[in-house]
């Protein structure tokens, strides 16, 4: 599960200085751990997979600022640049919002010369409790994400969502965003269902980050891991149960929201020297989809 601290309401209130000091200490501890740990150890991987901590490939820590709870995400000592992954995730999340997805509030702050992306937790209630959030990996019961497609998640949405029409539209938007910005780390734990007092809904978008290392997607679209044609994407949307007209309209809305993707990259400070291949790949994929590069 995402954001799985058991008792967030019991964390004492702290000002920015205390929160930033905790993040700074976490950065130091993470660097020490990363420098000594065997990340490929099978036993360790098994324990992490079974645990309830906030997952993902980057170091992170839960903090409280302004009486609100945030997930602080920072770079790894193995990253090519200290700000590379932070700037890429900020750009990806901002683009997803422009495409019409519900995205948590973000803050990007420098703590002792390190760039930190703070993502506001969306699983908490106004009373300080927690709503249940369950990954699509759990919902589908599938251990191997490479065997599934986006439409498998749509099956879950149709089955349990209390607002399936809205959630299916948003899942389709999420899929198109991932394709257009090359967020290929689209495994089942990067999608979740959130339970509130209104019932089950698709969670806000999270972990939407253009991938500089991999061009093929984990989840399939029309039986392929990419590259995709417009027909592939629209066909997968039809498997969601959406009409052909609705798929075309949503695709056009998302693509229109991402026209200025390079400007957003630049605004977020995505370093050109490490993302030239990514940018060229995005342009090629846009051309394949009939969009202006």
How far, in Å, CA of 162 to CA of 110, rounded? 40
Q: Is residue 152 in some structural domain? A: yes
Q: Is residue 154 in some structural domain? A: yes
Q: Same structural domain for residues 88 and 173? A: no
* Cβ neighbours for 75, distance < 8 A, ≥ 6 positions apart: 58, 59, 81, 82, 83, 84, 85, 86, 114, 115
- DSSP per-residue string spanning 266-283: HHTT--GGGTHHHHHHHH
Q: Same structural domain for residues 167 and 239? A: yes
pLDDT at 12 over 70: no
Among candidate residues 120, 140, 158, the one where a domain is terminated: 120
Looking at residue 50, its pLDDT comes to 42
Q: pLDDT tens digits, residue range 44-65?
A: 444 444 444 444 556 678 888 8
Domain boundaries, position 205: 132-288
Q: In terms of pLDDT, which residue wins out, 66 or 40?
A: 66
Q: Same structural domain for residues 158 and 241? A: yes
Task: Using a cut of 0.75, tell me whether the model's pTM lies above it.
Answer: yes
Q: Same structural domain for residues 199 and 95? A: no
Q: Same structural domain for residues 282 and 163? A: yes
Q: Same structural domain for residues 114 and 92? A: yes
Q: Is residue 3 in some structural domain? A: no
Q: What is the mean pLDDT of residues 65-69?
A: 84
pLDDT at 43 over 60: no
Could you give the strand order of the β-sheet that contains 60-65, starting from the edge strand earlier in sequence?
A: 60-65, 68-74, 114-120, 106-111
* 126-140, 199-213, 240-254, 261-275: least confident range: 126-140
Other CB atoms within 10 Å distance of the CB of residue 230: 15
Residue 168, SS3?
helix
Q: What is the mean pLDDT of residues 18-40?
A: 53
Q: Strand pairing partners for 224?
A: 221
């Amino acid at each position: 599960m995402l954001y799985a601290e058991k008792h967030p309401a019991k964390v004492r209130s702290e000002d920015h200085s205390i929160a930033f000091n905790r993040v700074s200490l976490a950065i130091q501890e993470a660097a020490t751990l990363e420098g000594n740990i065997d990340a490929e150890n099978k036993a360790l991987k098994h324990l992490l997979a079974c645990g309830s901590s906030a997952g993902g490939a980057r170091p992170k820590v839960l903090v409280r600022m302004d009486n609100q709870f945030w997930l602080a995400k920072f770079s790894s000592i193995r990253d090519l640049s200290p700000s590379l992954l932070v700037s890429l995730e900020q750009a990806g999340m901002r683009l997803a919002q422009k495409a019409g997805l519900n995205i948590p509030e973000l803050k990007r702050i420098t703590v002792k010369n390190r760039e930190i992306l703070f993502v506001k937790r969306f699983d908490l209630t106004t009373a300080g409790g927690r709503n249940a959030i369950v990954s699509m990996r759990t919902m589908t019961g599938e251990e191997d994400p490479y065997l599934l497609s986006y439409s498998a998640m749509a099956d879950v949405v149709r089955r349990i969502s209390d607002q399936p029409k809205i959630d299916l539209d948003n899942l389709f938007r999420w899929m198109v965003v991932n394709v257009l910005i090359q967020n290929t780390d689209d495994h089942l734990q990067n999608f979740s269902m959130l339970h509130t007092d209104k019932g089950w809904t698709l969670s806000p978008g999270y972990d939407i980050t253009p991938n500089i290392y991999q061009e093929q997607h984990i989840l399939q679209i029309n039986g392929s891991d990419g590259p995709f044609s417009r027909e592939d994407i629209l066909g997968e949307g039809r498997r969601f149960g959406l009409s052909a007209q609705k798929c075309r309209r949503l695709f056009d809305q998302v693509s229109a929201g991402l026209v200025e993707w390079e400007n957003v990259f630049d605004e977020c400070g995505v370093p050109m020297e490490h993302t030239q291949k990514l940018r060229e790949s995005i342009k090629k994929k846009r051309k394949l989809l009939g969009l202006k590069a």
